[in-house]
Amino acid sequence: MSNALNWETKSVEERQADNDALIEMVTDQITLDTFDTNNREILNRMVVEGMADPRGMVRLRFAETLGEIGEPATPFLLQALKSHTNPVVRRAAAKTLTLIADPTAIPILLEAFLTDEDTVVKGSSAGALARIGKPAVPILLDILGSPEHPESIKGHAAWALAFIGSEASEYLYEALNSDSVDVRCAVVGAIAHVAQERADEKSCQVLVSALSDPAAVIRTEAAAALAQLNYPPAVPHLIAALQDPDGEVRKAAVTSLGKIGASAALEPLKACLKDDLESIRLLAKLAISQIENR
């Protein structure tokens, strides 16, 4: 009888005892530097059996140990992510691939992200792509630019880009010329993260330039992002954005000017007290108070 059949016929208690013995053995071997990373049977058992354990802490221990083993475990994790019928195993596989961050995992992680029926598997696969970093950026941009994918998928892709941050800069600046509003919007969000991360002049200037984007949603994103930066050259451009025809852009500009606290914005903000939108009038009062209190 094969090991797989033996496993299937065992009780839950027997399986748990086997998993406890397995993880102890592997941990001891790693400590003694005697673990054989070419032992396919053990690596497969750690994934297929260990990650099916009903005890969350045991699954976590297997994940951390596989993460320590690293890339030799990748093929077994990918097989589980691709075809295991138990979503708990697929979730654990995706989360462990996040720890390893092996670029060779990108194609199957992408497939799981786009097609797996389990939302946790999708999210964990997106997390693994984000952790891999720069090699995953082109496919994330492709997802954002495609009309085929739902907003939930695009939201995860945008988050992953922002997580990758400055490592993806060369792709992000190039993607600012995209015809896709979704791509440009995600890129502005990611560049805002870069600007906060390292406060470089180029990132800040890109956000200022985005205040002139044809799409209101991107102008709004840029105005909101500038609130988090101490970048005085942005103030005149945010003041100009107070006249934007889109109310959401004006709201973001008012809020940002209040947070930045530039006295030059006081008079333009007072003019906003006559704005057609009540929400903008209220935000303007708050922004004026913030500036005056400084």
CA angle 61-67-72, nearest 5°? 125
Amino acid at 219: R
Average pLDDT score over residue span 3-26: 84
Q: Please state, in angstroms and as integers, the Cα–Cα distance from residue 127 to each residue in 115, 201, 211, 265, following that order.
A: 15, 29, 30, 40
Sign of CA dihedral 92, 94, 95, 98: positive
pLDDT for residue 165? 83
pTM of the model: 0.80
Whether 16 shows a pLDDT value over 90: the answer reads yes
Closest by Cα among 260, 247, 149 to 207: 260
Q: Minimal CA–CA distance to 207: which of 174, 185, 179? A: 185
Question: Which carries the bigger pLDDT value, residue 88 or residue 230?
Answer: 88
Which pLDDT band holds residue 1 (cuts at 50, 70, 90)? Answer: very low
- Mean per-residue pLDDT, 106-113: 97
Confidence of residue 173 (pLDDT cuts 50, 70, 90): confident
pLDDT band at 7 (very low <50, low <70, confident <90, very high): low
Contact status, residue 277 vs residue 250, Cβ threshold 8 Å: yes
Would you place residue 154 in the very low, low, confident or very high pLDDT band (cuts 50, 70, 90)?
A: very high
d(CA 29, CA 48): 20
Lowest mean pLDDT among 1-5, 188-192, 244-248: 1-5
Which residues, 6+ apart, have CB-to-CB distance to 74 below 8 Å? 97, 100, 102, 104, 105
Higher pLDDT, 232 or 24: 24
Token match 């075809």: residue? 83
pLDDT computed for residue 3 by the predictor: 55
Q: Determine the average pLDDT of the residues in 269-289.
A: 95
pLDDT at 92: 97
Residue 2: per-residue pLDDT: 47
Confidence of residue 189 (pLDDT cuts 50, 70, 90): confident
Half-sphere exposure of 41 (CA within 13 A, CB side): 4
pLDDT band, residue 167 (cuts 50/70/90)? confident
Judge contact between 189 and 157, C-beta under 8 A.
no
Average pLDDT estimate for 180-196: 88
As a whole number of angstroms, the distance between CA 40 and CA 27 comes to: 16
Please, which pLDDT band fits residue 267 given cuts at 50, 70 and 90? very high
